[in-house]
Structure 1
């Protein structure tokens, strides 16, 4: 028997955390890199700058956590959406149709982002970040609606362990987790049409969607946990349990990585465990500050982006925000020393993107998928 959730409410922390996550895609990473380059002799600053880039293969940096955090947040949101739909009287078939429609829409938006309107279908990349989110979230949501928590937890574990065993045992290779010989690339080459971003391999390909489903499911478990009535579990107890779970996930991930390396491009099971733990810590912090303690004074700065995250993701591919920034700041940038000019250029780009979203926010224009 599933626990009865408390009355559904919108979490300020979710919109704010989603916005914080998107900041790095929207230009904050560039600002940090430009800032660190002003201090070439500082080991700390150089380390910070290195965190704003993806690792080449095995390993983990902050930049590798951005995408999975977004998927984790999408998972947290779903139990609240599901509860609202059921309260409004929607049938299970209507809920299933909406889930599938959203998943397919995200896949199609990902293809548009990759250049669909160039009409070069032979060289079009069909795998995408939005496609990965759409498919992983969709399958997780379908499972979440259909089965109870214990069954879904077992499914998540089976997906992660099964994915590990498949990559480890199926390829006839001395290093089944290498770029050249991994099973993920083999499946992509066989089944994915069009262009693979690395030629023989795509980090958002088909097989590596399997562990991403488990990650989205972890987010849904978190949302379900937050929904439990406060009479049963106080906010402090909820946060404490989430932090303990986060630490356990990170430990499991790093222990697992001794055999199954942490690798974002493969979305290895160890990677999923570690970034799920990190995501849970970040959510716990935002939830505690904004929804428990009520410190929402600066939430709008983040939420403006979080409420239109897909909009800015797509818009950056279609709108030249850098030209707009340069129109106002180009003259000043030219008169600054090179490093400071680069920093101001990145700040300008970030500001233009944020002001664009603030305008949409004030006009109550939101792209909802």
Structure 2
């Protein structure tokens, strides 16, 4: 209700449906493609051909051992960034139903309803992440890893959402700065018993110490967990950077071409700033350092600017259809590829005879391609029947 007149507000842009960003769905699919099977295709091609470019690309599809960053290190934060970009769009429907133009106009009752939905989504993602880690194998409390990729996505998205719903854009920027600077200060200044302050090793970092102290079950690397408690703080920053990007893309006062240019420029600036910060606070995915957040945030903006310009500005969409299939059911294919479905066994059952006819060094290539083919066919079947796993 209109607070001044008591009448229903006249239709505004807030009440109109917001066009879906096709580029965002395609970028999500592109990101997930490498996890579901794309990496295995590249590794097999590099082994079969020995071509320098493929060998280099194959090297980029492995996590960095500690400091530094490869393309593979960017996949997880890019997905979280995309989740953040989606938030202003997904929240628009809730705002429209409440008859307000922004989150600041929501009533307490409306906010409670949104908080409940967000909390449910977060808890489901935490649970699914534990299932991927083997929760339902019932190996016992001490052999269960509670931290997970999906859990971090859920937690970071949830807290970024709370910030989005309760602050304006200016304060969201301040929150982002506070999260990154605060994490940097804590990691560098708070001493760890037996190691001291600012020791950024797997065993000696504050992040690892807090995980050993507070995180239940087992850790990913015995003394350290890359999805641990403290490093979730800068991960919230990754999601919040996505939220700010989504808010900018919704601004109808800026042309789409200019938006693409701004995304490109901001991406380059963040990459440069991340490299500069790296000199004092190393870029490290396993610690999710603030420099890593800024650096990969810059690359995420570059990827988005490219997809946005090609797909949404120029209108070239058909080439990205496979990525759209993947992006429309990203959580489902992640769970399936992580072990819920044995695609390799099925592919060998169907295509094994043909694969064995190929030259020996090309058989792994055909095997990985056949797995991808089955995955895409499954996604196409679900897409045509409008079956989507939504969390």
- Scaled to the shorter chain, the TM-score interval is over 0.9
Using CA pairs below 8 Å that are at least 6 residues apart, which structure has the higher relative contact order?
Answer: 1
Q: Which residue of 1 aligns with 2:380?
A: 358
Comparing 116-125 with 263-272, which one deviates more in the overlay?
116-125
Match status 1:166 vs 2:186: yes
Match status 1:119 vs 2:142: no
TM-score normalised according to structure 2 size = 0.90
**C-alpha RMSD of matched pairs (Å):** 1.6
Report matched runs for 1:96-245 at 5 Å.
96-120=115-139, 121-171=141-191, 172-173=195-196, 176-229=199-252, 232-245=253-266
Q: 2 CA distance for matches of 1:69 and 1:113? A: 20
> Which runs of 5 or more residues in structure 1 are unaligned?
none
Comparing 122-131 with 334-343, which one deviates more in the overlay?
334-343
Residues 235, 293 of structure 2: 8 Å contact kept? yes
Residues 4, 228 of structure 1: 8 Å contact kept? no
Report matched runs for 1:40-59 at 5 Å.
40=50, 42-59=51-68
Q: Which residue of 1 aligns with 2:10?
A: none
Residues 5, 227 of structure 1: 8 Å contact kept? no
Report matched runs for 1:283-298 at 5 Å.
283-298=304-319
Q: 1 CA distance for matches of 2:320 and 2:180? A: 35
The equivalent position to 2:39 in structure 1, one of 29, 33, 48, is 29
Any runs of at least 4 consecutive aligned residues in structure 1 with deviations exceeding 4 A, and if so which?
3-7
Deviation at 1:174, TM superposition (A): 7.4
Deviation at 1:7, TM superposition (A): 4.8
Q: 2 CA distance for matches of 1:203 and 1:82? A: 30
Deviation at 1:163, TM superposition (A): 0.5
TM-score normalised according to structure 1 size = 0.95
Deviation at 1:37, TM superposition (A): 1.3
Q: Which residue of 1 aligns with 2:26?
A: 16
Instruction: Choose 1 or 2 for highest CA Rg.
Output: 2
SS at match of 1:38: helix
SS at match of 2:318: coil
Q: Which residue of 2 aligns with 1:341?
A: 363
Q: Which residue of 2 aligns with 1:307?
A: 328
Equivalent pairs, count = 364
> Which runs of 5 or more residues in structure 2 are unaligned?
1-12, 99-108
Deviation at 1:6, TM superposition (A): 7.8
The equivalent position to 1:276 in structure 2, one of 297, 303, 325, is 297
Q: 2 CA distance for matches of 1:70 and 1:158? A: 22
Comparing 252-261 with 235-244, which one deviates more in the overlay?
235-244
Residues 125, 150 of structure 2: 8 Å contact kept? yes
Q: 1 CA distance for matches of 2:14 and 2:117? A: 23
SS at match of 1:91: helix
Q: 2 CA distance for matches of 1:6 and 1:176? A: 52
Q: 2 CA distance for matches of 1:341 and 1:299? A: 27
The equivalent position to 2:86 in structure 1, one of 63, 69, 77, is 77
Q: Deviations over 1:225-249 (max 9, x none)?
A: 01011xx211121111111111111
